[in-house]
Chain A
Amino acid sequence: MAKYDQKVSAPVFDPPKQATPKHSEHKPASPLSPVAGVRQGAANAAENIQRHLPYFPALPFPHFGDDAKPSPSAAAPIEGAAKAAAKIAEAIGPKTVSTGPLPTADANEGAEKGAAKIGASLGVQTGVKSQEISRGAASTELGGVLSGKDLMCRRFPDEDLLSEGPRDPKADAEVTHAKEVRDQLVTQMAEMKDVTPEQQAMILERTQGLTGDALVAEMKFLENALKTPNADRALNAYADLSTMIAENPEAAERLTPDMMGMLVTGVANPRTDSDRGQAGVLGGKQVRDAAEALLTMSQSDYDKLSDALGNAGKDDKGKAVAGADAAAEQALVLKALAARKELLLDHEPGPDGLSKADLAMEELTGFAKDIRGEKRADLIRTTTALDIDDTNTNTTNPTTLDKPGEDTKTDNDGLFQRFTTTCGPTTAQMVAAEYDPIYARRLHDEGFNNADPTTATSRQQQETLENNGGNAVSRLGNKATTAANTGLNAAEASNSITHDERMAVERYLYYRSNPKPEDLAAINASLEKVRAENGGHPTEAEVNAIRYNAGKDNKTGEGMYLPPALNAIASDAANDDFSQLGVNYNDMADRLKDGQPVPIRNESWGGHFMMVSDVRGEGKDQKFLVSDPWTGATRWMTAAQMKNGDFDDVFGIPAGGITTMYGDKEFEANS
């Protein structure tokens, strides 16, 4: 009996099939890299980038000193501010001048104290210089805080405040309403156990100092936040921002009420109508990182970003696009900003003359342009790797890859692992995508239903696994063996192919033979006959995937530890180093409420990685939103199911208790 060819060659695979990127300006480096690969993506439009941006002062906050170039209105001298204070006080009248704890300065006691009082009346902290006042109160360019149609009202621009003409009754009504909201806020906040007493005090301090225009603006986004399922998380973020301003009043220069509105609304507004989409685009962590980036980026970059945010939800003519959601776009741009916090500080020119900051900005503005005016549902779907909607957007079930197009479930359309043991790298990809919507968009460009082991998404999974001691076996290749065998049996039984022809096909598929061209033609002819009798299977992609697996030598799907994958793929975007942590459900819940996805390991198949992205409820009603890279599904698990390891009940994978969770070991919850 003749043995199969013993002389084997190195596996020959088709060159990687790169889907044509929809967004050519975001063409990723190979393999996908959430932020480190910005260089190639930006190089295409390098001519448009302002080169050699001046180095901007480092952490924690920028100096707004002599080197800054404030606008003419912001450069008013202190003496002028004192006069303005008196005039504003007169215009606003005693009813609208804050009597809260912050403005203790007496306007009559000198120019500087007078300026402080103006600041207090317009919603900035005591001690803020005059330029903050005008920026904080009069910024009108960043609309769309609450929705595309619900732009911020500006009833009290400076010139109105300074005039002595009749007051606008509608504006008065808005101020009255804002005060009512502030009262409600105090009442509601007291009931929220996830808003700490310290945070409540900070919020009270901030809001009691608001009057007029700033009061209306901030109460508008806080009123919206209070109506959402994320009210407590939004208030956490608002407290964090308020703290940043209180600790460094110069921060108000950039953390304007508009900017705060975008950030807080990004936390508050649920991503989708599904109960799996309750969390906002942003979490508290992303808000802090975005705010820090806003404060440390160069003025030029800040201005570019502000322009991009101002154009959200609008067409080229500045008209609001129906179906778009400016607030969601703004939140996503700010989320992408948070993921590039560190890059924006690096102004060292690279070999091509572009700094990392240049390239990061190019990505950010390109992304903002790319998503501008996009339908909300598509926008949300393509900026996460999780299935958080109730629509069936992917008819491929990762567990039945041999039956594409037949899946009808609406909760399993997320990113899935392309290989049998790449749950780790895939979990890391999910985490990176939760932190960086630009990266998520790249994953979507290749198609979430694309199980081809040679795509960039697949290659990142494979290389991350194999660089860390694992071995990647294609799931498509595994599934396709059944279809291939069924087809070969049918074709041989019907005498469409001879047994020798079958053996030649099997040598090609399972023994990685490298046939001569004429032999390959014969093999392909046999495969065509097999497909004719077997519903088109094995397809060309399936043949490639089977051969891919045959090229793995004598290895099976070996796994890896998770931290190396997280730190290779997600660490930059998260601005964190990931470590192995003990399982603590309170700690897990705190992280989730802060917007940090929490990877976990359970004992399915001897060890399986998954990701938790949200938590709701308390005590026995507490539930966790878990995403499984094996099935592509995102589903709620009760606390009891989590603790019992009932993953079989929820995901149909082997049961197994949770052994480990992962995250930044430095994290300390507010509570």
Chain B
Amino acid sequence: MTSPSVLAAPEKTPNWVSFSQSAPYLPPEFLPSSQKAVASLPLPTRKKAEALLEELTRQTQNPAQLGHVKDLLTQSLPGFAPKDHHMSGPHPHRAAVERAIILVLHGLVYRLAGQIPSAKKPDETAQTFLRTLNALPLFEFDQASKVRLHIEAREAMGHTFYLGLVTAHPDLNP
């Protein structure tokens, strides 16, 4: 006799999770908890969050698209927190969305930074890219995530190239 669990259709892995999984420097144990947190959001918030996450996975054409990501986040993140919530810090809904965004960013940064060495002006492109990365509205309370994204970028663009850049421009440091 076949057990019901075998008969049940497996839950489809969201595209943003698969996208994130491809990043080499993402701690893999982060994904299940984040996926669960997004799935637990109230339905309208969840739909909005998933749409945003999917939109982010599409910003892979060139490193300059990280600027569009920044604009997108600046515009949309405040919408994930009810204003009058009486709590401290980011609202739990916003926090859940931010965590998922950081995971997607691992995949995105890895892909975009990998394109930098072949850009027309690698130095300028890399500087703009790292400055934009540092300015994303996500890291005020979470510098460790920023460092991990820098590691992702560094290894994708080449650590010697990266080291030369941050040595010449210390402000690029996370």
Contact = CB atoms under 8 A, between A and B. Distances in A.
A607 B24 contact: no
B60 to A, nearest CB: 18
B119 interface: no
A485 B88 CA distance: 30
Question: Which of B28, B31, B103, B142 has most chain A Cβ within 10 Å?
Answer: B142
A488 to B, nearest CB: 10
Contacts of B72: none
Given A554-B34, A580-B86, A601-B86, A481 B141 contact: no
A557 B143 contact: no
A607 B33 contact: no
B147 A554 contact: no
A492 B99 contact: no
A79 to B, nearest CB: 66
A489 interface: yes
B30 A660 contact: no
Nearest to B32: A554
Q: Report whether over half of chain A's contact residues are helix, strand or loop; otherwise say mixed.
A: mixed
Interface residues on A, range: 35 or more
Given A1-B24, A499-B159, A554 B33 contact: yes
Nearest to A490: B167
Interface in A600-657: 601, 603, 605-609
B166 interface: yes
Interface residues of B, number: 44
Question: Which of B141, B142, B145 has most chain A Cβ within 10 Å?
Answer: B141
Contacts of A469: 92
A607 B27 contact: no
Interface stretch (B5-13, B62-70, B148-156): B148-156
A561 B140 CA distance: 20
A562 B88 contact: yes
Contact of B88 (A1, A478, A506, A609): A609
B30 to A, nearest CB: 4
Interface in B63-91: 81, 83-91
Contact of A481 (B25, B28, B174): B174
B1 interface: no
B135 interface: no
Given A8-B27, A659-B84, A606 B146 contact: no
Given A1-B24, A554-B30, A606-B91, A659 B86 contact: yes
A557 B174 contact: no
B94 interface: yes
B163 A473 contact: no
Contacts of A2: 24
B95 interface: yes
A554 B104 CA distance: 13
Given A485-B147, A553-B29, A606-B91, A473 B86 contact: no
B18 interface: no
Contact of B30 (A486, A553, A659): A553
Interface in A1-26: 1-4, 6, 8
A489 B163 contact: yes
Q: Report whether over half of chain B's contact residues are helix, strand or loop; otherwise say mixed.
A: helix
A132 B168 CA distance: 83
Question: Which of B83, B90, B103 has most chain A Cβ within 10 Å?
Answer: B90
Interface string B79-122: 00101111111111011001100010000000000000000000
A511 interface: yes
Contacts of B148: 510-511
A225 to B, nearest CB: 39
B170 interface: yes
Given A1-B155, A493-B163, A550 B144 contact: yes
Contacts of A556: 90, 95, 98-99, 141-142, 145
A103 interface: no
B173 interface: yes
Interface stretch (A137-145, A301-309, A420-428): A420-428
Given A1-B155, A481-B144, A559-B90, 10 more contacts: A420-B141, A489-B166, A489-B167, A492-B163, A493-B163, A546-B144, A549-B144, A557-B142, A606-B91, A607-B86
Interface of B: 24-25, 27-31, 33-34, 81, 83-92, 94-95, 98-99, 103, 140-148, 150-151, 155, 159, 163, 166-167, 170, 173-174
22 contacts: A421-B89, A478-B144, A481-B143, A481-B147, A482-B143, A489-B166, A493-B167, A506-B147, A506-B151, A546-B144, A553-B29, A553-B30, A554-B27, A558-B89, A562-B86, A606-B81, A607-B88, A607-B90, A608-B89, A659-B84, A659-B86, A660-B86
